[in-house]
Structure 1
Amino acid sequence: MEENVFETIAKKYDSTERIELANIIAHKVREELAQAKEKTLIDYGSGTGLIGLQIADSVKNAILVDSSENMVEIINDKVAASNIQNVQTFVADFTKDTMDIKADIVLVSLVLLHIPDTKIILEKLYKTLQTDGKLIIIDFDKNPNVYHPKVHNGFVADELKALLTSTGFKSTNIQQFHHGEKVFMKQDATLFIAVSKK
């Protein structure tokens, strides 16, 4: 089995730069959760919960899912320390595991770029959503200066929109919301938010 690189970096994951970027993303996602007080949210690929734990108070239930046991362990420690009542955690890889959980909202923040087959994960996330559910994707615009054999170098809005439509999503709205220095593999990059309705 291929080693999960995130198991190795979990304990050092919460760097100042990552926390700063997570705060910017959480602020943007919170805008999308204005009417979500009675909703269930899955934060898929939640890492150490930098975003999911910040937005948990915007929803009824927050389910943080990551494929790294070490990452989830760190979330559990944070939940216990902060006494957060409405957060559940799971270790799972939706590209391989089938999970019997449903949500009104699924958040995937800086996750798609790590998944080789984008279409497969979007299909899985589509099935996870309730009818009229909402998928929120945060990721980087395509960046020709970035190269890594295991990471997409970002996404083109129109291509992603077409892929989401072919997966079954009714509508997608994509907007850029932050440009940061050295935020993507030490390169300057622009973040976008894509909101799709099932």
Structure 2
Amino acid sequence: MGNTDKFEMIANIYDTPERIQMAKVSSDAIRNYLVDAKSKNAIDFGCGTGLVGMSLLNEFNSILFLDTSQNMINQIKQKITVFNIQNVDTLCFDFEKESLSDLHADYIFMAQVLLHIHDVELVLSRLFDVLNEGGHLLIVDFNKNEKIVSDIVHNGFNPGELTDIMTKIGYRDIQFKTFYTGSKIFMGHDASMFILESKKGHR
């Protein structure tokens, strides 16, 4: 996944008050879309230090924290040990490089992750294969922001365009809404965030 080197360097100082606040609004938004999830297994995709997934631990039967950065995963392992958390696992893996055929989940959620992924369609397609039939993919990210010019991240997304890509892959029942607007939250610029919910239906 893009920017892994950068994340390796900042893993131990990643949990700033701003990131904790962003994770809270993201996990609250995700929680609103969960249905009968207590018996379901989830993947926190591009989990970072697990800020979003950790606040959703009680919502699922289990969560797999997955990231391309081993240092981020190490931070989560420390939290698991310190808080004696039972229903979690970790995996360091890069879906942009290869796919995992033996990995399956009922829910996959990703918060501010897609903007770091170079080949969006490839990764969303590989995540589709990971989802169980009827499973859900939830994406939280920034709306497209023309003020941001970067060669390391996308400048947000147009959820309508994302919907077209996902429909082509096979995702169904796609809905999205903007749920949060904040000051200087995206590379120093004011920005808004959307949540997109989708389901793996029959192709």
Which TM-score tier does this pair reach, normalised by the shorter chain? over 0.9
| Structure 2 equivalent of residue 114 of structure 1 | 116
- Counterpart in 2 of 1:57? 58
Whether contact under 8 Å (2:4, 2:68) holds in the other structure is: no
SS at match of 2:149: coil
Uncovered stretches (5+) of structure 2, i.e. residues with no partner: none
CA offset digits 1:120-168 (Å, max 9, x no partner): 0100110010001100000000001111101000001210110110111
Report whether the alignment pairs 1:197 with 2:189.
no
* Partner residue in 2 for 1:91: 92
In the alignment, does 2:106 pair up with 1:104?
yes
Q: Secondary structure at the match of 1:37?
A: helix
Give the direction of change, closer, same or farther, for the CA distance of 1:82–1:185 in structure 2 (3 Å limit).
Answer: same
Report the Cα distance in structure 1 between the residues aligned to 2:8 and 2:194, rounded to whole angstroms: 27
Post-superposition Cα deviations, 1:15-37, rounded to whole Å, max 9, x if no partner, equal 11000111111111112224200
Q: How far apart, in 2, do the equivalents of 1:3 and 1:196 lie?
A: 27
Quote the residue 2:13 is aligned against.
12
Question: Which residue pairs with 1:141 in the alignment?
Answer: 143
| 1:171 paired residue number | 173
Partner of 2:125: 123
Of 171, 185, 188, 2:187 maps to 185
Instruction: Classify the secondary structure of the residue corresponding to 1:4.
Output: helix
Q: Superposition RMSD on alpha carbons, in Å?
A: 1.1
User: Distance in 1 between the 2:31 and 2:77 partners?
Assistant: 22
* SS at 2:99 equivalent: coil
Match of 1:157 in 2: 159
- CA distance in structure 2 between the partners assigned to 1:3 and 1:115 by the alignment: 10
Aligned length: 197
Using the TM superposition, name which of 97-106 and 133-142 deviates more: 97-106
% identity of equivalent residues: 40
The SS at the match of 1:21 is helix
- Are the aligned partners of 2:177 and 2:195 in contact in 1 as well (CA < 8 Å)? yes
For residue 34 of structure 2, what is the aligned residue in structure 1? 33
Structure showing greater relative contact order (alpha-carbon pairs closer than 8 Å, 6 or more residues apart): 2
